C-alpha cells in the first residue's frame, strides 16, 4: 500500500465514510466503557482508545477479557496516574472488511480516539492502517500477523504480536531436522494465508527442500470441495503437509483428511501458530482427528510469577461468567499479547507531554463529508515513538519492539497425543531444535506420528496408493543391443540389456516395493520417436515417470530432469586403426638403449679402463711399454670384458675388486640389451594411427559418431567442422567406415567403445585422453524423492562385484587385451634411469680403489721427496713422485724379478766374451768396455781410485737410485 493520496483508496474510504454516516454505529456503545478505578481523581483526564475485535470468536473474546484485566492491574498498581485509558470497543465480524473500516471511521471522526487496537485479522487491518496513517493515529495490532502488513511501509502501524515470517525459519528447520526434501503447503486463500507462503518457500529453498504443490483453500469451502482437494494431494508422492489457516477451516481440513485416510502411517502434518491452539479450543473433537500432528507456537516462559497470578485470576473470572466452560488457563498467546499491549499503551499515555487530545482541522468546510474532516491527531507521533522505545517485563515475557514489531525468537514444538497436546521440544535461532530450552545438539523425539505408535519418522513421501505403476520409458534405437534390446512388434516381450538388468536389480534393492512397466519410445513404424534429448524431455512433460537406457548424464538434460548417480564408466574417447610401426633397418641394433644410456656406458667403459691401468701399471708388465701400446691395452682390455675374453693377468687386488663390480654391471647390461633387441626384431609393434583428438582436429579427416548422441556438440566445441562429422548406427558401421578409410577415427562414450573393441579386437585401439562425462544414469522428474533412494541402491549394486562382474562380462566385455599403448615405439627401449644405480656402484668402487692406491703410494714413497734437495718446489717434488710412479715396482711383482735374473745371466755371458778379446794397454791394466762408447765411462779407472781387478758391466744394469739421479743432476748443473 502507498499513501492515502491514491484515488482508489480515497474513493473506497469515502464510500465507507458515507455508509458509516447512515449506520447506527452507536449500537456498540455498550462495549465502549473502559474499566474504572476507585483511585481515580477529578484531575484525571480520559485517554480514548478504540478497540476493533470480534468477541464472538475465541481470540476476540479472550483478548477483550485480557485487555480489561490489564486496565484493572495497571491502574491498581499505579496510584498517581494522571491519564486513564478509556476503551471504546467496536464488535465487528472478523471477515467483514467494510464493517471494520466503518468502525475505524466512526472512532476517528466521532470519538477522536488517540489510538486503535485491532482489528482482528490482517484482511481487515489493511484498510484500518490506511486510515490511521491518514489521521496520524497509531494502529496497534497483536493479531494481524501477515508479512504484507509492513511496519516500515506504514509509519503509524505497530505490531505488538508476531510477524508470520518468524515462523518460516522454524518450519524449514523442522523439515530439515527430519530430512524431508519435499513439502506441500495447504493454506487459506486469504491475505492471512497467502502472506506467509513466499517466506516459507524461501526458507525451504535455503535448506535444499522444495514445495511440490500449493493448495489454497477458500475460507468458505465446504466439506465436498475440501475432500476433493485432499484426494488430489493423496495421489501425489509427497506426504509432508504444512497447514496455515484459521481454526474453523483447519478443523474441516483435518476432519476430511481423517475420512480420506490421510491421517494414517506415512503422513506428516505440521500446523502453524493459530491453528496449533485448536486442540485447546475445540477439545476432544479436534484431538480425535489430529492424532500425531506437529505444531509450533511462541514460547512463553512459565517461570513468571505475574503470569501465574494472571492465569489464576483469569480462570476464576472466566468460570464465574461461563460456569459450563472447562478452561484451565488463557487458551491463546494472543490474550497475553493483548494484556501487554494495553499495558504499554497506558504507560505511553501517562508519559505524554501534552494533554490536548483534539484533532487538528485544516481549512475544512462545515458539514464536509470529505475524509479530511477527520483531521489529524496531535499525539499520534509521540505515542508511536514512546511505545516503539519502551521496554518492560510483561506477562508474555520481555516487551521490546524492533522496527515497531515484536520479535519472537523462541518457539515450542507440540505433538497432538491422546486427549491433548504434548511439548516435545524447543527451537531458538542459536541452538535450533532441542529437548531443553537453550541446549545444544539434542534432537527432538516425536511421541506419536499419524497412524503410528512408534517413534520412527516417516520418509516424507510414498508412491501413490491409487494402484498406478511406475511408467518407465526406454529407447528403441538399434545398433548396440547390449545396452537396451527391445522387440517393438510385441510389447509384451520384456526388454533386455545391460541398462535394463541394472534397473531391475536397483528396483529390487529399494526398501519398498515399486511396480513399474516399460514403455517403448517409438512411433507407429516402431522406430525411435525422436532423439535421446526428446526421450528425456518426456519426463519433464510427465509422459514417463522415469527414463531408463543408455542415457548419458549431461548438463543441458539436467535442466529438465534429475539424474541418479551414474552406473557405468564415464568419459568419451576415440578409437582408431592400428598398424605395425616397428622399424627394422641397418641401425636397429642401436634402438634397445637410449642415447643417454649409450653415452653413460661409453664414459664408464673408458673410466674403468683408466682406473685398472693406473692400478696395474707399476706391478704388471702387460700394462707397460710405449705409450701407444699402453693406450691400446687400456681400450682392448676394458672392451674385451663385454664378452669376458680378456687375456691380461690382473695382479693388483684393488683392480680385481673394481673388475668384479664392473663384470656384474656388464652382465646385466648385456642381458638387457639382448632381450630388448630380440623384442624389437621379432615382436610386431601395433601403433595407433592417431594419438588424440587435438591431433585429429588439425587434419581434414572425417570423424564418426553414434547417431542421436551429444557427440556433435562436443566435437564442435573442439573446433571440428560439422561437415567432417558422419553419424553411424552400429558397431558394424563403425568397422566398415574405419576399414575403408571413410573416417579416420570414431568418437564415442567408453561403454560403446568397449563393446566395439571386443567385437573387433586387434584391428583398433582406444587412444587419447578421456573427456569427462558422467556416464549413464536414470532420469526422474525434478525433485523426485526417488532419486536419493535409487542413487543409494545404485551404489550398493555397483560396489558388489558378485553382481557387477557377471553383467560386465555378459554385456560390456571389459577386455583390456585390445588396448594399445599410446607411445609403443619406445616401449622396448632401455633408458639410463633403469641403470643409474649400477653405474653409481661401479663408479664409487673405482674411485675408492684409485684413492686407496694413491694414498698407499704416497705413504710408501714420501721419504724420497723428503730427502731430496730442500730447494725444490712442491710441484717439482710431486713431479719426481710421478716419474717414480711410472717406473716398475720390482719389489711387488714377481714377473719383474724373473726378468731381471734373465738379464743378469745375459750380462755375465757378455762379460766373459769381452775378456777373451780384450787388448792390454801399456800400463799393464786391462780395459773392459766398448771401444765405440762415446762417453768413455767404461774404461780403466783412474790411478787415484787404486782399485785393482776388473769391473763387469752389463747391458741392463740395475736402475740407479733417486740419490744417484739427484747427485748426477747436481754435478751436471755445476758443470
Q: Is the preceding peptide bond at 953 cis, omega within 30 degrees of 0?
A: no
**CB 963 within 8 Å of CB 881:** no
Question: Over 80: is that where the pLDDT of 294 sits?
Answer: yes
**The C-alpha cell of 824 is what?**
609403443
pLDDT number for residue 540 = 92
Q: pLDDT tens for residues 419-436? A: 888 888 899 888 888 888
Please tell me what DSSP assigns to residue 458: P
Question: Over 50: is that where the pLDDT of 22 sits?
Answer: no
Residue 814 phi, psi dihedral angles, 5° rounding: -75, 80
**Helices (DSSP H) in 541-652: which residue ranges?**
595-616, 627-640
Question: Over 90: is that where the pLDDT of 779 sits?
Answer: yes
Rg for the chain (alpha carbons), in Å?
55
Q: pLDDT tens for residues 928-951? A: 444 344 444 433 334 434 433 333
Of the given ranges (98-107, 533-542, 563-572, 874-883), which has the lowest mean pLDDT?
Answer: 874-883
Cross-strand pairs, 926 = 920
Question: Over 80: is that where the pLDDT of 789 sits?
Answer: yes
**The C-alpha cell of 155 is what?**
509509519
Number of residues that make up the chain: 975
pLDDT number for residue 429 = 86
Element housing 358 (H / E): none
What DSSP string runs through 656-721? HHHHHHHHHHHHHHHHHHHHHHHHHHHS--EEES---HHHHHTS---EEEETTSSHHHHHHTTT--
Question: Over 60: is that where the pLDDT of 962 sits?
Answer: no
pTM given for the model: 0.61
| Whole-number Å distance between alpha carbons of 190 and 194 | 6
Cross-strand pairs, 297 = 412
Element housing 803 (H / E): helix 801-807
Question: Over 50: is that where the pLDDT of 925 sits?
Answer: no
Residue with cell 685398472: 612
pLDDT bin (cut points 50, 70, 90) of residue 280 is confident
**CB 591 within 8 Å of CB 829:** yes
599 Cβ contact partners less than 8 Å away, ≥ 6 residues apart: none
| Whole-number Å distance between alpha carbons of 775 and 846 | 59
Query: What is the strand order of the sheet 779-781 is part of?
Result: 516-520, 470-474, 546-547, 779-781, 561-563
Q: What is the dihedral of CA 624, 630, 635, 640, to 10 degrees?
A: -30
Residue with cell 569427462: 772
**The C-alpha cell of 597 is what?**
644410456
**The C-alpha cell of 680 is what?**
624389437
| Whole-number Å distance between alpha carbons of 128 and 134 | 10
Q: Between 39 and 590, name the one with better pLDDT.
A: 590
Q: Between 821 and 674, name the one with better pLDDT.
A: 674
pLDDT bin (cut points 50, 70, 90) of residue 531 is confident
| Whole-number Å distance between alpha carbons of 78 and 96 | 38
Residue with cell 695382479: 651
**CB 507 within 8 Å of CB 514:** yes
| Whole-number Å distance between alpha carbons of 272 and 274 | 6
**CB 812 within 8 Å of CB 498:** yes
**CB 662 within 8 Å of CB 608:** yes
| Whole-number Å distance between alpha carbons of 68 and 310 | 12
Q: How many of the other CB atoms lie within 10 Å of CB of 919?
A: 7
Whether the CA torsion 641, 645, 649, 651 is positive or negative: it is: positive
The rounded mean pLDDT for the chain is: 78
| Whole-number Å distance between alpha carbons of 427 and 431 | 7
| Whole-number Å distance between alpha carbons of 269 and 185 | 10
Please tell me what DSSP assigns to residue 367: T
Q: How far is CA 709 from CA 551, 725, 748, in A?
A: 9, 12, 9
Q: Between 393 and 901, name the one with better pLDDT.
A: 393
CA angle 764, 767, 773 (to 5 degrees): 120
Question: Over 50: is that where the pLDDT of 464 sits?
Answer: yes
Cross-strand pairs, 401 = 406
pLDDT bin (cut points 50, 70, 90) of residue 825 is very low
> Residue 155, class by beta-carbon neighbours within 10 Å (0-12 exposed, 13-18 middle, 19+ buried)?
middle
Q: Tell me the three state secondary structure of residue 897.
A: helix
The arithmetic mean of pLDDT across residues 494-502, rounded, is: 91
Counting DSSP H helices and E strands in the chain, the numbers are 29, 27
Closest among 49, 67, 48, 69 to 59, alpha carbons compared: 67
Closest among 914, 917, 888, 908 to 957, alpha carbons compared: 908
Question: Over 80: is that where the pLDDT of 387 sits?
Answer: yes
| Whole-number Å distance between alpha carbons of 85 and 82 | 10
| Whole-number Å distance between alpha carbons of 516 and 790 | 14
| Whole-number Å distance between alpha carbons of 662 and 682 | 30
Residue with cell 578421456: 770
Q: Tell me the three state secondary structure of residue 159.
A: strand
Longest dimension (CA), the chain: 188
pLDDT number for residue 820 = 45
Cross-strand pairs, 210 = 182
Question: Over 70: is that where the pLDDT of 305 sits?
Answer: yes
Give buried/exposed letters for 716-733 (b at 16+ CB in 10 A, else e): eeeebeeebbeebebbeb
Q: pLDDT tens for residues 158-178? A: 999 888 888 999 999 999 888
From start to end of 762-907, where are the E strands? 764-771, 779-781
Characterize the bridge pairing of strands 432-434 and 115-117.
unpaired
Distance of CA 942 to the CA centre of its chain: 111
The percent of residues above 90 in pLDDT, for the chain, comes to 18
pLDDT number for residue 228 = 92
Distance of CA 774 to the CA centre of its chain: 16
**CB 708 within 8 Å of CB 531:** yes
pLDDT number for residue 244 = 93
Of the given ranges (25-39, 110-124, 864-878), which has the lowest mean pLDDT?
Answer: 25-39
| Whole-number Å distance between alpha carbons of 72 and 75 | 6
Q: How far is CA 793 from CA 380, 495, 826, in A?
A: 66, 21, 45
**CB 194 within 8 Å of CB 187:** yes
Q: How many of the other CB atoms lie within 10 Å of CB of 149?
A: 23
Closest among 246, 252, 269 to 123, alpha carbons compared: 246
Q: pLDDT tens for residues 36-87? A: 334 444 467 889 999 999 988 888 888 998 999 999 999 888 878 888 899 9
Question: Over 50: is that where the pLDDT of 955 sits?
Answer: no
pLDDT bin (cut points 50, 70, 90) of residue 633 is confident
pLDDT number for residue 326 = 60
Q: Between 359 and 956, name the one with better pLDDT.
A: 359
Closest among 414, 448, 463, 450 to 262, alpha carbons compared: 450
Question: Over 90: is that where the pLDDT of 604 sits?
Answer: no
Q: What is the dihedral of CA 500, 505, 507, 508, to 10 degrees?
A: 140
Characterize the bridge pairing of strands 115-117 and 391-394.
unpaired
**CB 112 within 8 Å of CB 359:** yes
Give buried/exposed letters for 649-679 (b at 16+ CB in 10 A, else e): ebbbebbebbbebbeebbeebeebbeebbee
pLDDT number for residue 304 = 84
Q: Which long-range contacts (CB under 8 A, 24 or more apart) does 787-791 make?
A: 787/562, 787/563, 787/564, 788/181, 789/510, 789/511, 790/506, 790/510, 790/564, 791/564, 791/565
Residue 392 phi, psi dihedral angles, 5° rounding: -160, 165
pLDDT bin (cut points 50, 70, 90) of residue 816 is low
pLDDT number for residue 891 = 64
Q: Tell me the three state secondary structure of residue 46.
A: strand
**CB 85 within 8 Å of CB 342:** yes
Amino acid at each position: 500500500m502507498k499513501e492515502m493520496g491514491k484515488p482508489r483508496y480515497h474513493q473506497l474510504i469515502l464510500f465507507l465514510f458515507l455508509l458509516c454516516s447512515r449506520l447506527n454505529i452507536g449500537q456498540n456503545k455498550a462495549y465502549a466503557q473502559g474499566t474504572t478505578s476507585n483511585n481515580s481523581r477529578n484531575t484525571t483526564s480520559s485517554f480514548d482508545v478504540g478497540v476493533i475485535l470480534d468477541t464472538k470468536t475465541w481470540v476476540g473474546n479472550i483478548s477483550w477479557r485480557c485487555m480489561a484485566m490489564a486496565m484493572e492491574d495497571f491502574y491498581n498498581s499505579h496510584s498517581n496516574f494522571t491519564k486513564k485509558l478509556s476503551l471504546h470497543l467496536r464488535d465487528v465480524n472478523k471477515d467483514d472488511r467494510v464493517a471494520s473500516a466503518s468502525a475505524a471511521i466512526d472512532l476517528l471522526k466521532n470519538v477522536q480516539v488517540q489510538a486503535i487496537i485491532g482489528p482482528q485479522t490482517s484482511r481487515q487491518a489493511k484498510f484500518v492502517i490506511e486510515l490511521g496513517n491518514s489521521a496520524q493515529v497509531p494502529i496497534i495490532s497483536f493479531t494481524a500477523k501477515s508479512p504484507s502488513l509492513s511496519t516500515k511501509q506504514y509509519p503509524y502501524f505497530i505490531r505488538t504480536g508476531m510477524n508470520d515470517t518468524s515462523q518460516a525459519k522454524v518450519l524449514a528447520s523442522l523439515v530439515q531436522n527430519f530430512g524431508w526434501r519435499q513439502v506441500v503447503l495447504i493454506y487459506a486463500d486469504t491475505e492471512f494465508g497467502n502472506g506467509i507462503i513466499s517466506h516459507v518457500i524461501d526458507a525451504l529453498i535455503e535448506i535444499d527442500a522444495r514445495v511440490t504443490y500449493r493448495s489454497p483453500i477458500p475460507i468458505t469451502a465446504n466439506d465436498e470441495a475440501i475432500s476433493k482437494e485432499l484426494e488430489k494431494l493423496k495421489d501425489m508422492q509427497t506426504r509432508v503437509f504444512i497447514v496455515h489457516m484459521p481454526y474453523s477451516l483447519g478443523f474441516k481440513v483435518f476432519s476430511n483428511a481423517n475420512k480420506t485416510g490421510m491421517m494414517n502411517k506415512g503422513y506428516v502434518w505440521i500446523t502453524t501458530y493459530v491453528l496449533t491452539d485448536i486442540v485447546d479450543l475445540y477439545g476432544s473433537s479436534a484431538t480425535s482427528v489430529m492424532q500425531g500432528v506437529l505444531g509450533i507456537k511462541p514460547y512463553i516462559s512459565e517461570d513468571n510469577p505475574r503470569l501465574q497470578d494472571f492465569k489464576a485470576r483469569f480462570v476464576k473470572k472466566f468460570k464465574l461468567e461461563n460456569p459450563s466452560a472447562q478452561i484451565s488457563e488463557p487458551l491463546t498467546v494472543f490474550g497475553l499479547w493483548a494484556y501487554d499491549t494495553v499495558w504499554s499503551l497506558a504507560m505511553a499515555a501517562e508519559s505524554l507531554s501534552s494533554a490536548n487530545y483534539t484533532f487538528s482541522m485544516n481549512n475544512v468546510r462545515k458539514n464536509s463529508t470529505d475524509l479530511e474532516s477527520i483531521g489529524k491527531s496531535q499525539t499520534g507521533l509521540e505515542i508511536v515513538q514512546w511505545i516503539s522505545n519502551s521496554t518492560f517485563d510483561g506477562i508474555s515475557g520481555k516487551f521490546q519492539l524492533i522496527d515497531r514489531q515484536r520479535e519472537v525468537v523462541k518457539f515450542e514444538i507440540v505433538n497432538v497425543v491422546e486427549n491433548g497436546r504434548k511439548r516435545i521440544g524447543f527451537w531458538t535461532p542459536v541452538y535450533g531444535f532441542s529437548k531443553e530450552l537453550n541446549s545444544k545438539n539434542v534432537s527432538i523425539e516425536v511421541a506419536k506420528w499419524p497412524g503410528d505408535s512408534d517413534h520412527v519418522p516417516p520418509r516424507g513421501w510414498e508412491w501413490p496408493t491409487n494402484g498406478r505403476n511406475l511408467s518407465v520409458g526406454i529407447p528403441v534405437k538399434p545398433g548396440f543391443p547390449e545396452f537396451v534390446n527391445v522387440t517393438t512388434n510385441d510389447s509384451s516381450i520384456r526388454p533386455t540389456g545391460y541398462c535394463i538388468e541394472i534397473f531391475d536389480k536397483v528396483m529390487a534393492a529399494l526398501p519398498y516395493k515399486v511396480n513399474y512397466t516399460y514403455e517403448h519410445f517409438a512411433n507407429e513404424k516402431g522406430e525411435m520417436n525422436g532423439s535421446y534429448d526428446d526421450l528425456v524431455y518426456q519426463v519433464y512433460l510427465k509422459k514417463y515417470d522415469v527414463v531408463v537406457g543408455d542415457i548419458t548424464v549431461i548438463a543441458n538434460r539436467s535442466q529438465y530432469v534429475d539424474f541418479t548417480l551414474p552406473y557405468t564408466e564415464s568419459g568419451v574417447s576415440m578409437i582408431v586403426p592400428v598398424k605395425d610401426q616397428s622399424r627394422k633397418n641397418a641401425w636397429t641394433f642401436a634402438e634397445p638403449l637410449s642415447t643417454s644410456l649409450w653415452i653413460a656406458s661409453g664414459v664408464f667403459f673408458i673410466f674403468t679402463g683408466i682406473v685398472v691401468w693406473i692400478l696395474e701399471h707399476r706391478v704388471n708388465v702387460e700394462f707397460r711399454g710405449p705409450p701407444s701400446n699402453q693406450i691400446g691395452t687400456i681400450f682392448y682390455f676394458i672392451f674385451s670384458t663385454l664378452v669376458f675374453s680378456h687375456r691380461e693377468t690382473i695382479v693388483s687386488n684393488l683392480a680385481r675388486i673394481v673388475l668384479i663390480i664392473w663384470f656384474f654391471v656388464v652382465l646385466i647390461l648385456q642381458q638387457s640389451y639382448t632381450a630388448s633387441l630380440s623384442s624389437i626384431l621379432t615382436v610386431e609393434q601395433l601403433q595407433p594411427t592417431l594419438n588424440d583428438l587435438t591431433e585429429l582436429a588439425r587434419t581434414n579427416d572425417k570423424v564418426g559418431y553414434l547417431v542421436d548422441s551429444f557427440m556433435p556438440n562436443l566435437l564442435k566445441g573442439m573446433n571440428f567442422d560439422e561437415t567432417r562429422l558422419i553419424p553411424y548406427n552400429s558397431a558394424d558401421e563403425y568397422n566398415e567406415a574405419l576399414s575403408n578409410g571413410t573416417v579416420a577415427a570414431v568418437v564415442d562414450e567408453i561403454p560403446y567403445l568397449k563393446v566395439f573393441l571386443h567385437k573387433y579386437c586387434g584391428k583398433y585401439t582406444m587412444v587419447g585422453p578421456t573427456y569427462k562425462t558422467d556416464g549413464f544414469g536414470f532420469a526422474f522428474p525434478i525433485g523426485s524423492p526417488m532419486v536419493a533412494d535409487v542413487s543409494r541402491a545404485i551404489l550398493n549394486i555397483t560396489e558388489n562385484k558378485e553382481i557387477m562382474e557377471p553383467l560386465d562380462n555378459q554385456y560390456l566385455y571389459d577386455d583390456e587385451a585390445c588396448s594399445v599403448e599410446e607411445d609403443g615405439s619406445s616401449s622396448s627401449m632401455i633408458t639410463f634411469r633403469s641403470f643409474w644405480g649400477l653405474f653409481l656402484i661401479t663408479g664409487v668402487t673405482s674411485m675408492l680403489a684409485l684413492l686407496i692406491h694413491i694414498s698407499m703410494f704416497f705413504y710408501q714413497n714420501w721419504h724420497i721427496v723428503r730427502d731430496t734437495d730442500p730447494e725444490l718446489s712442491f710441484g717439482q717434488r710431486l713431479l719426481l713422485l710421478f716419474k717414480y710412479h711410472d717406473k716398475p715396482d720390482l719389489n711387488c711383482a714377481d714377473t719383474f724379478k724373473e726378468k731381471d735374473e734373465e738379464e743378469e745371466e745375459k750380462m755375465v755371458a757378455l762379460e766373459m766374451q769381452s775378456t777373451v778379446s780384450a787388448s792390454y794397454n801399456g800400463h799393464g791394466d786391462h780395459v773392459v768396455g766398448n771401444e765405440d762408447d762415446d762417453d768413455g765411462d767404461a774404461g780403466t779407472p783412474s790411478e787415484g781410485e787404486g782399485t785393482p781387478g776388473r769391473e763387469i758391466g752389463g747391458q741392463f744394469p740395475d736402475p740407479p737410485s733417486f740419490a744417484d739421479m739427484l747427485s748426477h743432476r747436481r754435478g751436471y748443473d755445476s758443470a
